[in-house]
Amino acid sequence: MNALLRWTAAFLPVLIVGMVMGGKNAVRNGDFEKFSGNEPSNWETTNLGKMLTVVSPSSNAHGGSLAVKCEVKNSFGSPMAGMIIQKNIPLSGEDVQVSLYYLLSPVGKDVGFLAVDFENDEGSTVGMCQHYLTAAEPKYTLFKAVTKLPEKTTHCEMRLTLMPEEEGGKLHEGSSILLDDISLVSLSAQIDTSTRH
């Protein structure tokens, strides 16, 4: 009996975490295995057709065979950053966890930037979260954060791009970031609130 209690005490938290984290990824083509030319399927980009490509597929992937690359290039005398946008991502529950892998190659102090706008069923923004992706490592870095969903949230819009580190700063041509395995998972109310942002 004591052995059974010890086993339960040791493994029940693991089982609970497994159930809590078992939600379905709401991001479409978050692994970037599908492209149409330079456009990742289910994502909008800031590419200017054949004039300027600032978003493209990369074979330097974290998982699978492809990742997406956003980079800063000169556009009519000004730096323009690649951005990927996915709209109408369905959400439910009390908390949501966003996770992704990134490989930042900055010029100057440019950083990656993630923004999620939470919206209600009428399309109005009811809240948002923003995160800077700053680790410039030789290998992919995992980013993960849990956010409490604002009331009446039914879906969200996600944007990823490059930005200057300082407000009012200037982007640097040549900066780039690889992104892969992006997920957005609704969690139950059992999540540890100390990890919320």
CATH code of the domain covering residue 51: 2.60.120.260
Tokens 């730096």 belong to: 79
- Asked if residue 17 is part of any domain, the answer here is no
pLDDT at 195 over 90: no
C-alpha pair distances (Å), 13 with each of 32, 85, 131? 33, 36, 29
Range of the domain at 142: 24-195
pLDDT one-digit tens code per residue, 120-131: 999 999 999 999
CB–CB of 179/62 below 8 Å?
A: no
CB–CB of 86/122 below 8 Å?
A: no
Q: Which residues contact 137 (CB under 8 A, 6 or more apart)?
A: 103, 104
pLDDT one-digit tens code per residue, 67-122: 999 999 999 999 999 999 999 999 998 999 999 999 999 999 999 999 999 999 99
Give the SS3 label for residue 124: coil
- Asked if residue 6 is part of any domain, the answer here is no
- Asked if residue 88 is part of any domain, the answer here is yes
- Asked if residue 42 is part of any domain, the answer here is yes
- Asked if residue 15 is part of any domain, the answer here is no
- Asked if residue 7 is part of any domain, the answer here is no
- Asked if residue 174 is part of any domain, the answer here is yes
Instruction: Quote the number of domains for the chain.
Output: 1
- Asked if residue 8 is part of any domain, the answer here is no
pLDDT one-digit tens code per residue, 5-46: 444 444 444 433 433 445 799 999 999 999 999 999 999 999
